[in-house]
């Protein structure tokens, strides 16, 4: 007989399954998401631990998070859709299944070409 063991790590029960499909939510309206308030509408914290954070980002077609430096490293993994990602001075066209890394203190930005769903796996901050 198997017993379910629960171990809490950073406020998250180890082994819990998170259904990202239930968290996907798009915010229509503004195209340029240039304020923190705008970005909070399209970004959801999925997991926060002492070592890393995972956020779900959902952009409507042609929405943009302008390029700006952030004090933490991040990998973006595209779940669905496509967009142009800026890291430093370079631009990269990415689509479903692609991943890109942005170092800390280097400007990064995202502009969707179509509805875009992605994960940001961030250094804890």
Identify whether 113 is part of a domain. yes
67 within a domain of the structure (yes/no): yes
pLDDT surpassing 50 at residue 3: no
- Asked if the structure places residue 55 within a domain, the reply is yes
Q: What residue numbers bound the domain in which 47 lies?
A: 22-123
Residue 105 lies in a domain: yes
Please tell me the predicted confidence (pLDDT) of residue 97: 98
pTM over 0.85: no
46: CATH: 2.60.120.10
CA distance 39 to 57: 9
Q: How would residue 1 be classed by pLDDT, with cut points 50, 70 and 90?
A: very low
What is the number of domains present in the chain? 1
The answer as to whether 17 is a domain residue is no
The answer to the question of residue 5 being in a domain is: no
Check residues 20 and 30 and name the one with the higher pLDDT: 20
């Amino acid at each position: 007989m198997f017993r379910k063991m629960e171990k809490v790590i950073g406020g998250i029960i180890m082994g819990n399954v998170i259904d990202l499909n239930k968290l996907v939510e798009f915010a229509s309206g503004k195209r340029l998401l240039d304020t923190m308030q705008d970005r909070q509408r399209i970004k959801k914290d999925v997991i926060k631990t002492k070592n890393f954070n995972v956020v779900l980002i959902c952009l409507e077609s042609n929405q943009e998070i302008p390029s700006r430096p952030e004090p933490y490293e991040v990998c973006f993994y595209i779940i669905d859709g496509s967009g142009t990602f800026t890291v430093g001075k370079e631009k990269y066209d990415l689509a479903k299944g692609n991943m890109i890394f942005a170092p800390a203190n280097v400007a990064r930005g995202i502009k969707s070409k179509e509805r875009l769903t992605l994960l940001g796996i961030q250094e804890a901050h």
